[in-house]
Amino acid sequence: MPLSHTWALAVLDSITEGVLAVDQQWRITYFNRAAERITGLQGSEVVGQPCWEVLRSNLCDNSCPLAATLKQGQEVKQRIAYIVTAEGRQKPICLSTALVQDEKGHILGGVELFRHLEPPSSQAPSAYQTVQMGEMVSCTPRMQQLFQLLPRVAESESAVLLQGESGTGKELVARALHQYSRRRQGPFVAVNCGAIPDNLLEAEFFGYKAGAFTDARRNKPGRFAQAHGGTLFLDEIGDISPALQLRLLRVLQEQQYEPLGATQTEQADVRIIAATHRDLAAEVAQGGFREDLYYRLNVVRLQLPPLRERPEDIPLLTERLLLRLQRRTGRRVEGVLPETLKILKQYSWPGNIRELENALEHAMVLCDGQWLAPEHLPSGLQPHGSPVAAPQDQTLAQVEKAHILKVLAEQQGNRSRAARVLGIHKTTLLRKLKAFQL
Amino acid sequence: MYVAVTVWQGRVAPLFDTARWLWLYEAQSGMWWQQLQLPGGAPAVKADFLQNWPLVLLVCGAISEPYAWALQEVQLPYAAFMRGNADEVVAAYRHGSLEHPCWYLPGCGRHRHRRRQRRRGWRE
């Protein structure tokens, strides 16, 4: 009994593979429900459209499988590709094509079957939407709350104190605050207070006039002068000496300063953003930091979470950092393997995003392929313990035996070399082989 | 200054990621200027190549996030998820009608923020 048209369509709509049919002019004539689900497009909006404008896969303009089928009659089977959704997401698919012919063998068009290759669970997209602020990006609610605050904080002229561990992106937050502020046309000057010798800090901050001291042959503007009309970012503010704390306090109170050797005061038209990895409140309690300066700086305080408290951001940050590294090094990699990402997500990242960037750069240097594997990561990130996959129901002896066998196989049965790889004496290896009856 | 279009068979190439050819048009006159071969490879390589040209706008088809991020990093103004004959798209840009839904790929007209612009130094 021949199938009715309705029945045939119902069957096509019930299968899990996407089905897309085109005529000989590459116009879509049929688009089933699974195809709608995979592409995120409605059949009604794509029927009659050229297939390349609907699928926009990486094969469309150079090696279209449907073209090979329609022009040469070749069926394409299980080809891996990716399509790009309206949101810009790459969706990996596996596709096959076939000719559509009538009873007499006349070619009517082609059909493409495709299924979405689900990403490994470790790379599953976050439940939260990605939000970008300046050069920062996050998909975690905690960072996104911070992002929401930034424009309002930026609008004010109040001093801001950024607290967070080293490498959490304090300078990026400061830059974002500058970019969103009324001072954005002015300069953004960053000073790492911890990197400047204490005896030079004053000259560095306030500058000096010619003749102020030996070798001061000409006027040198300080960072306050350089940041005039803009933002002065004082990183590691907790590291400055008590004497400079006092000078800084006076500038913040009076909005004026005197360069070394100057006879006149100068106006300080800067917005101060300070940052520290220290607990300044505790430093104040212990007498290491001036209380009055602390309150001058701590008008608005923003706390940046460490990376270990937002592991959901690691895949996203990894992707972004790889992009940046590719630009810097000219080296190209496709990405990280799921097992590499798993290690990255499990690590505690005491150095935060800076450490993540360094680890990825290390991996890119060692990687000679397209995908960063666990062995390319710095040794400190490698999971501890035996490299042998050890199911929980195995005894130590069984794991040891399996590892010895693996190393022996890798060394083509050469026991001397295997003993060296295992880090034991050859006689110890022979004793173990005898014990394991190998 | 130029308007650039990634092209395939005289139309906006369906996917920026794999586009091989770029047509440049003079922004003021709308005249076709020249064809360039785009480098393949990493998103940053493509973005760096494009950054070397004085572009008021890059018009392209679908673009995946890594490539979009690369363009944003170099602050290149672009209109993505566009379609149509390249000459006609440039004419639409000059007439200010590039936002019309007919120039968007299916399913993409409903999404906003397709056009990104330089944070500084660019005026359409």
pLDDT digits (tens, 9 = 90+) for B18-69: 999 999 999 989 999 999 999 876 787 888 899 999 999 999 999 988 888 8
Chain A and chain B share a number of CB contacts under 8 A equal to 92
Question: Phi and psi for B58 in degrees, rounded to 5?
Answer: -110, 125
Band of pLDDT at residue A164, cut at 50, 70 and 90: very high
Alpha carbons A19 and A31: distance in angstroms, whole number: 6
The 10s digit of each residue's pLDDT in A195-240 is 777 778 888 888 888 877 777 778 888 999 999 999 999 999 998 8
Q: Please check whether residue B42 is in contact with residue A88, taking contact to mean a CB–CB distance below 8 angstroms.
A: no
Least CB–CB distance from B106: residue in A54, A58, A61: A54
B18–A323 CB contact, under 8 Å: no
Q: What is the pLDDT of residue A129?
A: 65
Alpha carbons B45 and B67: distance in angstroms, whole number: 10
Give the strand pairing for B78-79 and B55-59. Answer: parallel
For residue A45, the distance in angstroms to the closest alpha carbon of chain B comes to 7
Q: Please check whether residue A252 is in contact with residue A200, taking contact to mean a CB–CB distance below 8 angstroms.
A: no
Q: What is the pLDDT of residue A202?
A: 81
The 10s digit of each residue's pLDDT in B63-108 is 988 888 889 888 899 999 999 999 999 999 999 999 898 999 998 8
Alpha carbons A260 and A213: distance in angstroms, whole number: 9
From chain B residues 55-94, the ones with a CB under 8 A of any chain A CB are 61-66, 68-70, 73, 80-81, 83
Question: What is the four-CA torsion angle of A230, A233, A237, A241, rounded to 10 degrees?
Answer: -50
Quick count: other Cβ atoms within 10 Å of Cβ B62? Answer: 29
**Pick among B5, B11, B15 to test the A interface (most A CBs inside 10 A):** B15
In angstroms, the Cα distances linking A349 to A171, A346, A352 are: 18, 9, 5
A49–B44 CB contact, under 8 Å: no
The 10s digit of each residue's pLDDT in A90-132 is 887 888 999 998 888 888 899 999 988 765 444 444 445 677 7
What is the average pLDDT value for chain B, to the nearest integer? 85
Beta bridge partners of A234: A191, A274
Band of pLDDT at residue A393, cut at 50, 70 and 90: low
The 10s digit of each residue's pLDDT in A17-64 is 999 999 988 899 999 999 999 999 998 989 999 999 999 998 888 888
What is the complex's ipTM, to 2 decimals?
0.86
Q: Please check whether residue B40 is in contact with residue B33, taking contact to mean a CB–CB distance below 8 angstroms.
A: no
3-state secondary structure of A379: helix
